[in-house]
Amino acid sequence: MSDLTHLDESGAARMVDVGTKAETQREAVATGRIAMSAEAAAAIRDGLVRKGDVLSVARVAGIMAAKKTSDLIPLCHPLALTKITLDLVPDATGVTATASVALTGRTGVEMEALTAVSVALLTVYDMAKAIDKAMTIGDIRLVSKTGGKSGDWVNREG
């Protein structure tokens, strides 16, 4: 079990000790999408959702979630993030969210980027569910990451 970094010698869960790792500039980009009816997409795009400005609220929710990732995902380190951007792009059948998260530190920010996207899309669902309860959240994935011992990585599969 020693090959699994989040398990100790006896198989118990643990948070990885990153204290001896070098600080490097790290960034991660994640994306995801919520698909919906044309009616819901138009209401979001045109600012006609009764709960308010869906994209603005979802953007703030995603940014807040990135900052709270260690409170939501067991064994994630609390991080002093230096950058969080969250782009929400509506189209005729849904909204695509893309988050970029960065810091200078000893561990990566992939989970923070994925959390930002996930919570932003859940917020879109919450705010527009009165129009379309059948919305589908999916295709949440890491797009790229830079920095750290393992170096840069780009998702070539989508």
Q: Was 127 annotated as part of a binding site?
A: no
Q: Was 75 annotated as part of a binding site?
A: yes
Q: Was 1 annotated as part of a binding site?
A: no
Q: What is the DSSP string of 38-97?
A: HHHHHHHHTT--TT--HHHHHHHHHHHHHHTHHHHSTTPPP---SEEEEEEEEETTEEEE
Rg for the chain, CA atoms, rounded: 17
Distance CA 142, CA 20 (A): 26
Q: Which of 126, 132, 139, 152 is catalytic?
A: 126
Distance CA 117, CA 108 (A): 16
Phi, psi of 96 (to 5 degrees): -105, 130
User: Closest by alpha carbon to 60, among 141, 125, 116?
Assistant: 116
Q: Was 6 annotated as part of a binding site?
A: no
Phi, psi of 12 (to 5 degrees): -80, 145
Q: Is 91 a catalytic residue?
A: no
Q: Was 111 annotated as part of a binding site?
A: yes
The annotation places the binding site at 75-77, 111-112
Task: Point out the residues that are catalytic.
Answer: 126
The annotation places the binding site for substrate at 75-77, 111-112
